[in-house]
Structure 1
Amino acid sequence: MQDADPILEITDVAYRWPGRAGFSLTVPHVAVAVGESVLLLGESGSGKSTFLSLICGTILPERGKVDIAGVDITALSGGARDKVRAEQIGVIFQQFNLLPFGSVMDNILLPLRFAPARRKRAGNATVEASHLCSALGLPAGVTSAKATALSVGQQQRVAVARALIGQPPLIIADEPTSALDANSQIAFLDLLFEQTTTHNTSLLMVSHDPRLGERFDRVIRMEDIAQIERVAA
Protein backbone atom coordinates (compact mmCIF):
# COMPACT_ATOMS: atom_id res chain seq x y z
CA MET A 1 0.00 0.00 0.00
CA GLN A 2 3.01 2.28 -0.09
CA ASP A 3 3.37 2.19 -3.87
CA ALA A 4 3.29 5.62 -5.50
CA ASP A 5 1.09 4.51 -8.39
CA PRO A 6 -2.39 3.15 -7.62
CA ILE A 7 -3.63 -0.04 -9.25
CA LEU A 8 -6.91 1.73 -10.08
CA GLU A 9 -7.47 5.44 -10.66
CA ILE A 10 -10.59 7.08 -12.06
CA THR A 11 -10.40 10.74 -13.01
CA ASP A 12 -13.22 13.06 -14.16
CA VAL A 13 -15.36 10.26 -15.55
CA ALA A 14 -18.88 10.88 -16.83
CA TYR A 15 -21.33 8.41 -18.33
CA ARG A 16 -24.97 8.75 -19.40
CA TRP A 17 -27.36 5.87 -19.99
CA PRO A 18 -29.63 6.63 -22.96
CA GLY A 19 -33.40 6.65 -22.92
CA ARG A 20 -36.21 8.20 -20.90
CA ALA A 21 -35.41 6.07 -17.85
CA GLY A 22 -31.70 6.74 -18.06
CA PHE A 23 -29.38 8.61 -15.73
CA SER A 24 -25.96 10.20 -15.76
CA LEU A 25 -23.10 9.22 -13.47
CA THR A 26 -20.14 11.50 -12.75
CA VAL A 27 -17.09 10.39 -10.75
CA PRO A 28 -14.53 13.16 -10.10
CA HIS A 29 -11.78 10.97 -8.63
CA VAL A 30 -11.32 7.55 -7.02
CA ALA A 31 -8.10 5.59 -6.48
CA VAL A 32 -7.26 2.20 -4.99
CA ALA A 33 -3.67 1.58 -3.87
CA VAL A 34 -1.67 -1.55 -4.51
CA GLY A 35 -2.53 -4.09 -1.82
CA GLU A 36 -5.39 -1.99 -0.43
CA SER A 37 -8.82 -3.40 0.47
CA VAL A 38 -11.73 -1.03 -0.14
CA LEU A 39 -15.40 -1.56 0.59
CA LEU A 40 -17.77 0.40 -1.65
CA LEU A 41 -21.19 0.89 -0.07
CA GLY A 42 -24.31 1.85 -1.96
CA GLU A 43 -28.01 1.13 -2.08
CA SER A 44 -29.81 -0.29 -5.09
CA GLY A 45 -29.98 2.32 -7.83
CA SER A 46 -26.94 4.21 -6.58
CA GLY A 47 -24.92 3.49 -9.73
CA LYS A 48 -22.69 0.70 -8.38
CA SER A 49 -23.17 -1.60 -11.37
CA THR A 50 -22.44 1.20 -13.83
CA PHE A 51 -19.36 2.13 -11.82
CA LEU A 52 -18.04 -1.44 -11.95
CA SER A 53 -18.76 -1.65 -15.68
CA LEU A 54 -16.69 1.49 -16.24
CA ILE A 55 -13.81 0.02 -14.23
CA CYS A 56 -13.91 -3.22 -16.20
CA GLY A 57 -14.20 -1.42 -19.54
CA THR A 58 -17.44 -3.09 -20.59
CA ILE A 59 -18.87 0.40 -21.09
CA LEU A 60 -16.94 3.55 -21.99
CA PRO A 61 -17.37 6.98 -20.39
CA GLU A 62 -18.23 10.06 -22.40
CA ARG A 63 -15.17 11.69 -20.87
CA GLY A 64 -12.45 11.01 -18.33
CA LYS A 65 -9.81 8.38 -17.63
CA VAL A 66 -9.93 4.91 -16.11
CA ASP A 67 -6.39 3.77 -15.35
CA ILE A 68 -5.79 0.10 -14.58
CA ALA A 69 -2.18 -0.65 -13.60
CA GLY A 70 -1.12 2.60 -15.26
CA VAL A 71 -3.03 2.02 -18.52
CA ASP A 72 -5.92 4.30 -19.51
CA ILE A 73 -8.39 1.74 -20.82
CA THR A 74 -10.66 4.43 -22.27
CA ALA A 75 -8.04 5.07 -24.96
CA LEU A 76 -7.87 1.41 -26.04
CA SER A 77 -9.72 -0.59 -28.66
CA GLY A 78 -12.33 -3.07 -27.51
CA GLY A 79 -9.98 -6.01 -27.91
CA ALA A 80 -7.20 -4.25 -26.02
CA ARG A 81 -9.59 -3.39 -23.17
CA ASP A 82 -10.65 -7.03 -22.99
CA LYS A 83 -7.00 -8.06 -22.70
CA VAL A 84 -6.26 -5.57 -19.90
CA ARG A 85 -9.36 -6.74 -18.02
CA ALA A 86 -8.37 -10.40 -18.38
CA GLU A 87 -4.77 -9.78 -17.35
CA GLN A 88 -5.25 -7.29 -14.53
CA ILE A 89 -8.68 -7.92 -12.97
CA GLY A 90 -10.24 -10.93 -11.28
CA VAL A 91 -14.01 -10.59 -10.90
CA ILE A 92 -16.23 -12.33 -8.35
CA PHE A 93 -19.79 -11.98 -9.61
CA GLN A 94 -22.82 -11.86 -7.33
CA GLN A 95 -24.36 -14.83 -9.15
CA PHE A 96 -20.94 -16.54 -9.59
CA ASN A 97 -21.44 -16.94 -13.41
CA LEU A 98 -19.87 -20.40 -13.50
CA LEU A 99 -20.04 -22.49 -16.66
CA PRO A 100 -22.79 -24.94 -15.64
CA PHE A 101 -21.60 -27.87 -17.74
CA GLY A 102 -17.88 -27.31 -17.19
CA SER A 103 -15.85 -28.92 -14.46
CA VAL A 104 -14.51 -26.99 -11.51
CA MET A 105 -11.07 -27.02 -13.19
CA ASP A 106 -12.57 -25.70 -16.46
CA ASN A 107 -14.17 -22.83 -14.59
CA ILE A 108 -11.08 -21.86 -12.61
CA LEU A 109 -8.77 -21.94 -15.64
CA LEU A 110 -11.15 -20.00 -17.91
CA PRO A 111 -9.59 -16.50 -17.39
CA LEU A 112 -6.15 -17.80 -18.37
CA ARG A 113 -7.36 -18.61 -21.89
CA PHE A 114 -7.55 -14.88 -22.62
CA ALA A 115 -4.54 -13.66 -20.60
CA PRO A 116 -1.10 -15.01 -21.56
CA ALA A 117 0.80 -12.97 -18.94
CA ARG A 118 -1.60 -14.10 -16.23
CA ARG A 119 -1.25 -17.68 -17.48
CA LYS A 120 2.52 -17.34 -17.20
CA ARG A 121 2.21 -16.05 -13.63
CA ALA A 122 0.14 -19.11 -12.79
CA GLY A 123 3.03 -21.39 -13.73
CA ASN A 124 1.56 -24.89 -13.71
CA ALA A 125 -2.02 -23.67 -13.84
CA THR A 126 -3.69 -26.95 -12.90
CA VAL A 127 -1.44 -27.24 -9.84
CA GLU A 128 -2.20 -23.65 -8.80
CA ALA A 129 -5.92 -24.29 -9.29
CA SER A 130 -5.71 -27.33 -7.03
CA HIS A 131 -3.77 -25.34 -4.42
CA LEU A 132 -6.38 -22.58 -4.49
CA CYS A 133 -9.18 -25.12 -4.03
CA SER A 134 -7.37 -26.57 -1.03
CA ALA A 135 -6.66 -23.12 0.45
CA LEU A 136 -10.32 -22.18 0.01
CA GLY A 137 -11.49 -25.27 1.85
CA LEU A 138 -12.86 -27.23 -1.09
CA PRO A 139 -12.70 -31.03 -0.79
CA ALA A 140 -9.96 -33.09 -2.44
CA GLY A 141 -10.85 -34.20 -5.95
CA VAL A 142 -13.40 -31.44 -6.47
CA THR A 143 -11.66 -30.11 -9.59
CA SER A 144 -13.13 -32.87 -11.74
CA ALA A 145 -16.71 -32.34 -10.51
CA LYS A 146 -19.29 -30.42 -12.52
CA ALA A 147 -19.98 -26.93 -11.22
CA THR A 148 -23.72 -27.70 -11.05
CA ALA A 149 -23.02 -30.60 -8.66
CA LEU A 150 -21.62 -28.31 -5.96
CA SER A 151 -23.38 -26.57 -3.11
CA VAL A 152 -23.90 -22.82 -3.31
CA GLY A 153 -21.07 -22.27 -0.82
CA GLN A 154 -18.73 -24.46 -2.85
CA GLN A 155 -19.68 -22.68 -6.08
CA GLN A 156 -18.84 -19.40 -4.40
CA ARG A 157 -15.37 -20.67 -3.52
CA VAL A 158 -14.83 -21.83 -7.08
CA ALA A 159 -15.75 -18.31 -8.22
CA VAL A 160 -13.12 -16.91 -5.84
CA ALA A 161 -10.48 -19.35 -7.13
CA ARG A 162 -11.29 -18.31 -10.71
CA ALA A 163 -10.81 -14.65 -9.78
CA LEU A 164 -7.52 -15.31 -7.96
CA ILE A 165 -5.75 -17.66 -10.35
CA GLY A 166 -2.74 -16.12 -12.05
CA GLN A 167 -2.51 -13.44 -9.35
CA PRO A 168 -4.33 -10.53 -11.01
CA PRO A 169 -3.37 -7.35 -9.13
CA LEU A 170 -6.99 -6.20 -8.69
CA ILE A 171 -10.00 -8.19 -7.48
CA ILE A 172 -13.50 -6.77 -8.02
CA ALA A 173 -16.16 -8.46 -5.88
CA ASP A 174 -19.78 -7.55 -6.64
CA GLU A 175 -22.02 -8.21 -3.60
CA PRO A 176 -20.46 -11.66 -3.01
CA THR A 177 -21.89 -12.01 0.51
CA SER A 178 -25.44 -10.80 -0.14
CA ALA A 179 -26.99 -14.28 0.04
CA LEU A 180 -24.93 -15.49 3.03
CA ASP A 181 -25.80 -15.60 6.71
CA ALA A 182 -23.53 -13.85 9.23
CA ASN A 183 -21.34 -16.89 9.98
CA SER A 184 -20.90 -17.70 6.30
CA GLN A 185 -20.01 -14.06 5.57
CA ILE A 186 -17.23 -14.18 8.17
CA ALA A 187 -15.85 -17.44 6.83
CA PHE A 188 -15.98 -16.18 3.25
CA LEU A 189 -14.18 -12.91 4.08
CA ASP A 190 -11.54 -14.79 6.08
CA LEU A 191 -10.75 -16.91 3.03
CA LEU A 192 -10.81 -13.97 0.63
CA PHE A 193 -8.55 -11.75 2.75
CA GLU A 194 -6.13 -14.60 3.40
CA GLN A 195 -5.63 -15.03 -0.32
CA THR A 196 -5.44 -11.34 -1.25
CA THR A 197 -3.01 -10.60 1.59
CA THR A 198 -0.73 -13.43 0.52
CA HIS A 199 -0.23 -11.89 -2.93
CA ASN A 200 -0.58 -8.17 -1.98
CA THR A 201 -3.67 -8.04 -4.19
CA SER A 202 -5.94 -5.00 -4.20
CA LEU A 203 -9.59 -5.67 -3.41
CA LEU A 204 -12.58 -3.51 -4.29
CA MET A 205 -15.74 -5.09 -2.90
CA VAL A 206 -19.22 -3.71 -3.46
CA SER A 207 -21.90 -4.18 -0.82
CA HIS A 208 -24.93 -2.56 0.76
CA ASP A 209 -23.95 -3.84 4.24
CA PRO A 210 -21.95 -1.31 6.32
CA ARG A 211 -21.25 -3.95 9.00
CA LEU A 212 -18.55 -5.38 6.75
CA GLY A 213 -16.55 -2.14 6.89
CA GLU A 214 -14.35 -3.02 9.85
CA ARG A 215 -12.66 -5.74 7.79
CA PHE A 216 -11.40 -3.31 5.14
CA ASP A 217 -8.60 -0.74 4.98
CA ARG A 218 -11.06 1.87 3.77
CA VAL A 219 -14.80 2.34 3.27
CA ILE A 220 -16.20 4.63 0.60
CA ARG A 221 -19.82 5.39 -0.27
CA MET A 222 -21.25 5.89 -3.72
CA GLU A 223 -22.87 9.17 -2.72
CA ASP A 224 -19.46 10.51 -1.65
CA ILE A 225 -17.58 9.63 -4.85
CA ALA A 226 -20.26 9.97 -7.53
CA GLN A 227 -23.06 12.27 -8.58
CA ILE A 228 -26.16 10.84 -10.22
CA GLU A 229 -28.65 12.85 -12.25
CA ARG A 230 -31.79 10.99 -13.25
CA VAL A 231 -33.69 11.74 -16.44
CA ALA A 232 -37.28 12.69 -15.76
CA ALA A 233 -39.85 10.37 -17.31
Structure 2
Amino acid sequence: MAGPVLDLCDVSYHWPGRAGFALTVPSFHIAKGETVLLLGESGSGKSTLLSLICGTILPDRGTVNIAGRNIAALSGGARDRFRAEHIGVIFQQFNLLPFGSVADNILLPLRFAPARRKRVQDAAANAADLCTALGLPADIMTAKASALSVGQQQRVAVARALIGQPPLIIADEPTSALDANSQAAFLDLLFAQTRTNETSLLMVSHDPRLGARFDRVIQMEEIAQTERTVA
Protein backbone atom coordinates (compact mmCIF):
# COMPACT_ATOMS: atom_id res chain seq x y z
CA MET A 1 0.00 0.00 0.00
CA ALA A 2 1.29 3.48 -0.87
CA GLY A 3 2.44 5.71 1.96
CA PRO A 4 0.14 8.46 3.20
CA VAL A 5 -0.10 11.72 1.31
CA LEU A 6 -1.76 13.20 4.40
CA ASP A 7 -0.96 12.12 7.95
CA LEU A 8 -2.18 13.84 11.13
CA CYS A 9 -0.89 12.61 14.48
CA ASP A 10 -1.98 13.83 17.95
CA VAL A 11 -3.13 17.19 16.59
CA SER A 12 -4.86 19.70 18.82
CA TYR A 13 -5.87 23.30 18.24
CA HIS A 14 -7.62 25.92 20.37
CA TRP A 15 -9.21 28.96 18.80
CA PRO A 16 -8.27 32.04 20.85
CA GLY A 17 -10.97 34.14 22.47
CA ARG A 18 -13.44 34.03 25.32
CA ALA A 19 -15.78 31.56 23.63
CA GLY A 20 -13.13 28.92 23.08
CA PHE A 21 -13.31 26.09 20.55
CA ALA A 22 -10.91 23.17 20.75
CA LEU A 23 -10.33 20.47 18.16
CA THR A 24 -8.35 17.29 18.75
CA VAL A 25 -7.47 14.77 16.03
CA PRO A 26 -5.58 11.75 17.40
CA SER A 27 -4.95 10.18 13.97
CA PHE A 28 -6.05 10.70 10.37
CA HIS A 29 -4.39 9.72 7.12
CA ILE A 30 -5.07 9.49 3.39
CA ALA A 31 -3.04 7.23 1.10
CA LYS A 32 -1.82 8.09 -2.39
CA GLY A 33 -4.69 7.95 -4.85
CA GLU A 34 -7.29 7.41 -2.12
CA THR A 35 -10.62 9.23 -2.16
CA VAL A 36 -12.15 10.13 1.21
CA LEU A 37 -15.48 11.76 2.01
CA LEU A 38 -15.53 13.54 5.37
CA LEU A 39 -19.04 14.14 6.71
CA GLY A 40 -19.98 16.54 9.47
CA GLU A 41 -22.61 19.04 10.47
CA SER A 42 -21.99 22.77 10.75
CA GLY A 43 -19.89 23.52 13.80
CA SER A 44 -18.30 20.07 13.89
CA GLY A 45 -14.81 21.44 13.20
CA LYS A 46 -14.54 20.63 9.48
CA SER A 47 -13.35 24.11 8.51
CA THR A 48 -10.79 24.13 11.31
CA LEU A 49 -9.50 20.74 10.20
CA LEU A 50 -9.14 21.92 6.60
CA SER A 51 -7.28 25.01 7.78
CA LEU A 52 -4.87 22.82 9.75
CA ILE A 53 -4.31 20.54 6.75
CA CYS A 54 -3.66 23.51 4.47
CA GLY A 55 -1.37 25.14 7.02
CA THR A 56 -3.31 28.39 7.21
CA ILE A 57 -3.46 27.78 10.96
CA LEU A 58 -0.92 25.76 12.96
CA PRO A 59 -1.65 23.12 15.60
CA ASP A 60 -0.87 23.79 19.24
CA ARG A 61 0.38 20.21 19.42
CA GLY A 62 1.03 17.32 17.08
CA THR A 63 2.07 17.02 13.45
CA VAL A 64 0.39 17.59 10.09
CA ASN A 65 2.44 15.83 7.42
CA ILE A 66 1.79 16.44 3.72
CA ALA A 67 3.80 14.20 1.38
CA GLY A 68 6.10 13.41 4.29
CA ARG A 69 6.74 17.01 5.42
CA ASN A 70 5.59 18.47 8.73
CA ILE A 71 4.13 21.74 7.50
CA ALA A 72 4.17 23.31 10.96
CA ALA A 73 7.98 23.11 10.92
CA LEU A 74 8.15 25.40 7.87
CA SER A 75 8.39 29.19 7.98
CA GLY A 76 5.36 31.16 6.83
CA GLY A 77 6.71 31.79 3.35
CA ALA A 78 7.97 28.24 2.94
CA ARG A 79 4.62 26.92 4.10
CA ASP A 80 2.78 29.02 1.51
CA ARG A 81 5.06 27.71 -1.24
CA PHE A 82 4.70 24.13 -0.01
CA ARG A 83 0.90 24.47 0.00
CA ALA A 84 0.92 25.81 -3.54
CA GLU A 85 3.06 22.89 -4.71
CA HIS A 86 1.28 20.05 -2.95
CA ILE A 87 -2.39 20.97 -2.40
CA GLY A 88 -5.07 21.88 -4.89
CA VAL A 89 -8.16 23.40 -3.26
CA ILE A 90 -11.69 23.53 -4.65
CA PHE A 91 -13.43 26.18 -2.57
CA GLN A 92 -17.14 26.12 -1.82
CA GLN A 93 -17.55 29.55 -3.44
CA PHE A 94 -14.90 28.72 -6.10
CA ASN A 95 -12.89 31.94 -5.37
CA LEU A 96 -12.16 32.70 -9.02
CA LEU A 97 -10.71 36.04 -10.09
CA PRO A 98 -13.90 37.54 -11.59
CA PHE A 99 -12.23 39.75 -14.19
CA GLY A 100 -9.50 37.26 -15.06
CA SER A 101 -9.96 34.92 -17.99
CA VAL A 102 -10.55 31.21 -17.58
CA ALA A 103 -6.93 30.63 -18.62
CA ASP A 104 -5.68 33.18 -16.06
CA ASN A 105 -7.60 31.46 -13.27
CA ILE A 106 -6.50 27.94 -14.14
CA LEU A 107 -2.84 28.89 -14.54
CA LEU A 108 -2.68 31.00 -11.37
CA PRO A 109 -1.30 28.25 -9.05
CA LEU A 110 1.65 27.67 -11.38
CA ARG A 111 2.91 31.20 -10.67
CA PHE A 112 3.58 30.18 -7.06
CA ALA A 113 4.55 26.53 -7.59
CA PRO A 114 7.60 25.99 -9.84
CA ALA A 115 7.55 22.20 -9.39
CA ARG A 116 3.92 22.04 -10.53
CA ARG A 117 4.84 24.35 -13.40
CA LYS A 118 7.72 22.08 -14.39
CA ARG A 119 5.39 19.07 -14.61
CA VAL A 120 3.34 20.96 -17.21
CA GLN A 121 5.38 21.21 -20.41
CA ASP A 122 2.86 23.47 -22.15
CA ALA A 123 0.77 25.19 -19.48
CA ALA A 124 -1.77 26.75 -21.82
CA ALA A 125 -2.31 23.49 -23.69
CA ASN A 126 -2.64 21.57 -20.43
CA ALA A 127 -5.23 24.06 -19.16
CA ALA A 128 -7.18 23.65 -22.39
CA ASP A 129 -6.97 19.86 -22.12
CA LEU A 130 -8.33 19.98 -18.57
CA CYS A 131 -11.21 22.16 -19.71
CA THR A 132 -12.03 19.71 -22.48
CA ALA A 133 -11.86 16.76 -20.08
CA LEU A 134 -14.19 18.61 -17.71
CA GLY A 135 -16.73 19.22 -20.44
CA LEU A 136 -16.09 22.91 -21.05
CA PRO A 137 -16.25 24.35 -24.59
CA ALA A 138 -13.00 24.90 -26.47
CA ASP A 139 -13.54 28.65 -26.81
CA ILE A 140 -14.00 29.28 -23.10
CA MET A 141 -10.33 29.96 -22.29
CA THR A 142 -10.55 33.69 -23.04
CA ALA A 143 -13.92 34.24 -21.34
CA LYS A 144 -14.02 36.23 -18.09
CA ALA A 145 -14.83 34.16 -15.02
CA SER A 146 -17.64 36.56 -14.12
CA ALA A 147 -19.40 35.69 -17.39
CA LEU A 148 -19.57 31.95 -16.66
CA SER A 149 -22.48 29.95 -15.31
CA VAL A 150 -22.18 28.45 -11.83
CA GLY A 151 -21.51 25.02 -13.32
CA GLN A 152 -18.79 26.41 -15.58
CA GLN A 153 -17.17 28.29 -12.68
CA GLN A 154 -17.14 25.09 -10.69
CA ARG A 155 -15.34 23.20 -13.45
CA VAL A 156 -12.80 25.97 -13.86
CA ALA A 157 -12.15 25.74 -10.10
CA VAL A 158 -11.54 22.01 -10.50
CA ALA A 159 -9.13 22.58 -13.39
CA ARG A 160 -7.24 25.16 -11.30
CA ALA A 161 -6.90 22.65 -8.45
CA LEU A 162 -5.76 19.83 -10.76
CA ILE A 163 -3.25 21.60 -12.97
CA GLY A 164 0.32 20.53 -12.31
CA GLN A 165 -0.84 17.33 -10.58
CA PRO A 166 -0.58 18.24 -6.88
CA PRO A 167 -0.67 15.06 -4.76
CA LEU A 168 -3.66 16.17 -2.66
CA ILE A 169 -6.95 17.77 -3.67
CA ILE A 170 -9.18 19.26 -0.98
CA ALA A 171 -12.78 19.99 -1.95
CA ASP A 172 -14.87 22.00 0.51
CA GLU A 173 -18.60 21.36 -0.06
CA PRO A 174 -18.19 21.68 -3.85
CA THR A 175 -21.61 20.18 -4.64
CA SER A 176 -23.72 22.06 -2.10
CA ALA A 177 -25.32 24.38 -4.70
CA LEU A 178 -26.02 21.64 -7.27
CA ASP A 179 -29.06 19.46 -7.92
CA ALA A 180 -28.71 15.67 -7.90
CA ASN A 181 -28.05 15.31 -11.63
CA SER A 182 -25.46 18.09 -11.62
CA GLN A 183 -23.80 16.59 -8.55
CA ALA A 184 -23.44 13.22 -10.28
CA ALA A 185 -22.02 14.76 -13.45
CA PHE A 186 -19.57 16.89 -11.48
CA LEU A 187 -18.33 13.93 -9.43
CA ASP A 188 -17.92 11.81 -12.57
CA LEU A 189 -15.61 14.45 -14.00
CA LEU A 190 -13.68 15.02 -10.77
CA PHE A 191 -13.09 11.32 -10.13
CA ALA A 192 -12.00 10.70 -13.71
CA GLN A 193 -9.31 13.35 -13.35
CA THR A 194 -8.09 12.25 -9.92
CA ARG A 195 -7.81 8.65 -11.13
CA THR A 196 -5.84 9.74 -14.18
CA ASN A 197 -3.29 11.56 -12.02
CA GLU A 198 -3.36 9.17 -8.99
CA THR A 199 -4.29 12.18 -6.91
CA SER A 200 -5.63 11.83 -3.37
CA LEU A 201 -8.97 13.50 -2.74
CA LEU A 202 -10.45 14.74 0.53
CA MET A 203 -13.97 16.06 0.07
CA VAL A 204 -15.89 17.65 2.91
CA SER A 205 -19.66 17.52 2.86
CA HIS A 206 -22.78 17.14 4.98
CA ASP A 207 -24.46 14.92 2.36
CA PRO A 208 -24.03 11.17 3.04
CA ARG A 209 -25.63 10.27 -0.31
CA LEU A 210 -22.29 11.00 -1.98
CA GLY A 211 -20.51 8.28 -0.03
CA ALA A 212 -20.89 5.34 -2.42
CA ARG A 213 -18.38 6.88 -4.82
CA PHE A 214 -15.52 7.14 -2.31
CA ASP A 215 -12.94 4.67 -1.05
CA ARG A 216 -13.73 5.70 2.52
CA VAL A 217 -16.50 7.64 4.22
CA ILE A 218 -15.64 9.11 7.61
CA GLN A 219 -17.82 10.94 10.08
CA MET A 220 -16.07 13.91 11.66
CA GLU A 221 -16.74 12.57 15.15
CA GLU A 222 -14.88 9.35 14.27
CA ILE A 223 -11.56 11.15 13.90
CA ALA A 224 -11.95 14.32 15.96
CA GLN A 225 -13.20 15.55 19.29
CA THR A 226 -14.42 19.09 19.83
CA GLU A 227 -14.92 21.12 22.97
CA ARG A 228 -16.43 24.52 23.56
CA THR A 229 -15.57 26.57 26.63
CA VAL A 230 -16.76 29.95 27.83
CA ALA A 231 -14.31 31.99 29.85
TM superposition shift of 1:231: 1.3
The residue aligned with 1:50 is 48
Q: Distance in 2 between matches of 1:133 and 1:22?
A: 43
Structure 2 matches for 1:42-81, cutoff 5 A?
Answer: 42-81=40-79
Alignment partner of 1:232 is 2:230: yes
Which residues of structure 2 form unaligned runs of 5+?
Answer: none
Q: Distance in 2 between matches of 1:77 and 1:203?
A: 26
Alignment partner of 1:192 is 2:190: yes
TM-score scaled to structure 1, two decimals?
0.98
TM superposition shift of 1:22: 2.5
The residue aligned with 1:31 is 29
Q: Distance in 1 between matches of 2:230 and 2:117?
A: 47
TM superposition shift of 1:122: 1.4
Amino acid of the structure 1 residue aligned with 2:165 = Q
Amino acid of the structure 2 residue aligned with 1:177 = T
Q: Distance in 1 between matches of 2:19 and 2:140?
A: 45
TM-score scaled to structure 2, two decimals?
0.99
The residue aligned with 1:159 is 157
The residue aligned with 2:169 is 171
Q: What whole-Å deviation, never above 9, does each CA across 1:51-76 have from its counterpart, x for those lacking one?
A: 00000000001011000000000111
Q: Distance in 2 between matches of 1:137 and 1:15?
A: 40
Of residues 15-24 and 203-212 in structure 1, the stretch that sits farther from structure 2 once superposed is 15-24
Q: How many residues align?
A: 231
Q: Distance in 1 between matches of 2:172 and 2:20?
A: 22
The residue aligned with 1:129 is 127
What secondary structure, in the 3-state scheme, does the structure 1 residue paired with 2:19 have? coil
Structure 2 matches for 1:77-156, cutoff 5 A?
Answer: 77-156=75-154
TM superposition shift of 1:20: 1.9
Q: What whole-Å deviation, never above 9, does each CA across 1:61-105 have from its counterpart, x for those lacking one?
A: 101100000000011101111111100000000000000110000
1:9 to 1, 7, 16: 7
TM superposition shift of 1:21: 2.2
Q: What whole-Å deviation, never above 9, does each CA across 1:137-185 have from its counterpart, x for those lacking one?
A: 0011101000000000000000000000000010000000001000000
The residue aligned with 1:183 is 181
Q: Distance in 1 between matches of 2:20 and 2:81?
A: 29
TM superposition shift of 1:131: 0.1
Q: Distance in 1 between matches of 2:20 and 2:94?
A: 27
**4+ residue runs over 2 A deviation:** none
Q: Distance in 2 between matches of 1:158 and 1:61?
A: 32
Q: Distance in 1 between matches of 2:191 and 2:63?
A: 29
